[in-house]
Amino acid sequence: MITKHLAAGCLALAGILTINFKTSAQTDGAAPVAVAKVKLETGNLAPTPPMGWNTWNTFQTKIDEPLLKGMVDAYVSSGMKDAGYRYFVLDDGWMMMERDTKGYLVADPKKFPNGMKAFADYVHNKGLKFGIYNCAGNKTCAGYPGSRGHEYQDARLYASWGVDFLKYDWCNTDSLNAREAYITMSSALKETGRPIVFSLCEWGNHKPWLWAKGVGELYRTTGDITANFSQDKHMGTWTASSVMTILDKQPAIRQYNGPNHWNDADMLEVGNGMSYAEDKAHFSMWCMLSAPLAAGNDLRNMSEQTKSILTNKEVVAIDQDVLGIAAYKIPMADSVEVWVKPLKNNEVAVCFLNRSNHAQKLNIKWGDLTVEDKTTGLNLKLANGTYTLRDLWLKKSSGTTKGNFKQDIASHDVLMLKMVKQ
């Protein structure tokens, strides 16, 4: 058991270690890449991180119209739509293995007997937006026809179906130049005249945070997620990343995150096998990062706990804060981290994350703590006033920053607070 004090501008950890709290995130020191001048127009399709649901994490390519219509219905009846989720995205596996004789993609008629336009209409009629998937390479990751050489033709087809969101993958791309390949598809989408959110999925291989602003609205920063808190999963030729592995890659690129250009930490695994605490921690941290929120669980049979995580509007509001600033991390002892996220109106979200395998006791003296975020220029000076504390998971007040703050955090769990000046 370690008592932690958070006071007088520093974290004093059981007398062992003191960390200056006046800190700001460092960059990853990435060497600047030579970027050719291309006129990129930034629209306003994603002023806050896109929220939605995607087929992949639970169903992979085993999707069809009856299953998905049920999911659309559950999207609405479960409260996901009411909580702010909007996009319904078909990932890999929706099409035939070959294009038609004119080069058009064809929705698999066994899976979508009424065609893709009819399914898109079904989604739209429920007040949701419709997303689809393809790949910059010759084939998608699951072996279906990719868009290479058909970018404008595919974009026109999607627009004719009423597509609102395109996830664009990076399998089978050989020696393609990533930035150029994504600009080609981005231009093709813009040419259709239909507003289509463009979601780049090249796994962070070519540092899209340095060049994707204006090309698309969100870009994956890592390889694929797996539903495990801290253990990566070996998949033969590649390794799926645990929630903590993905989280650890985010601080170095946080300064690139913002409205209409979001660092994508991959889809959510909430409800897909981790513990309640782990799911809560995963969701909290994605919200602290202002990451896109793409649920990936079966919405038709969500447990009450899963639903209470995904639809916690106060936590979702942290993700959707209009400033779009990703949190930064202050390490503490015993694998407890403090993440701090500046919000609009000088409010602040603070999230304590217990990564250790045992419960921890927090004893925090807020005192005259100063949190200075050099990246954004926003400061939090507790010396200038008292802040109220609201526990966003318990949905109740937790006092103010005047007194001591004592609370246990279970293993792999979080304590997520919103601080508002009195």
Kindly tell me which of 239 and 356 has the beta carbon lying closer to ligand GLA.
239
Specify the DSSP class assigned to residue 101. Answer: T
Angle, nearest 10°, between helix axes 178-191 and 151-161?
40
Cα dist from 412 to 6, 90, 133, 165, 355, whole Å: 21, 31, 33, 33, 5
> What are the tokens at 296?
């990936």
Kindly tell me which of 56 and 211 has the beta carbon lying closer to ligand GLA.
56
Identify the burial level of 225 via C-beta atoms within 10 angstroms of its C-beta, where 0-12 means exposed, 13-18 middle and 19 or more buried.
buried
Kindly tell me which of 94 and 119 has the beta carbon lying closer to ligand GLA.
94
The residue whose Cβ lies closest to ligand GLA is: 141
Shortest Å distance, C-beta 362 to ligand GLA: 36
- DSSP helix/strand/coil, 418: strand
Shortest Å distance, C-beta 418 to ligand GLA: 31
> What are the tokens at 311?
């639809």
Cα dist from 190 to 42, 123, 181, 272, whole Å: 11, 22, 14, 35
Shortest Å distance, C-beta 357 to ligand GLA: 29
Shortest Å distance, C-beta 183 to ligand GLA: 20
Residue type, 120: A
Kindly tell me which of 205 and 397 has the beta carbon lying closer to ligand GLA.
205
Strands (E), 21-155: 51-54, 87-89, 129-135
Residue ranges in contact with ligand GLA by CB under 6 A: 56, 91-92, 140-142, 169, 201, 224
Identify the burial level of 308 via C-beta atoms within 10 angstroms of its C-beta, where 0-12 means exposed, 13-18 middle and 19 or more buried.
middle
Catalytic residues: 169, 224
Shortest Å distance, C-beta 379 to ligand GLA: 38
Contact predicate 374/353, CB 8 Å = no
Kindly tell me which of 169 and 217 has the beta carbon lying closer to ligand GLA.
169
Angle (CA) 64-69-74 rounded to 5° is 130
Q: Which residues face 337 on adjacent strands? A: 331, 353
Kindly tell me which of 146 and 271 has the beta carbon lying closer to ligand GLA.
146
Shortest Å distance, C-beta 56 to ligand GLA: 5
- Separation of alpha carbons 228 and 87, rounded Å: 25
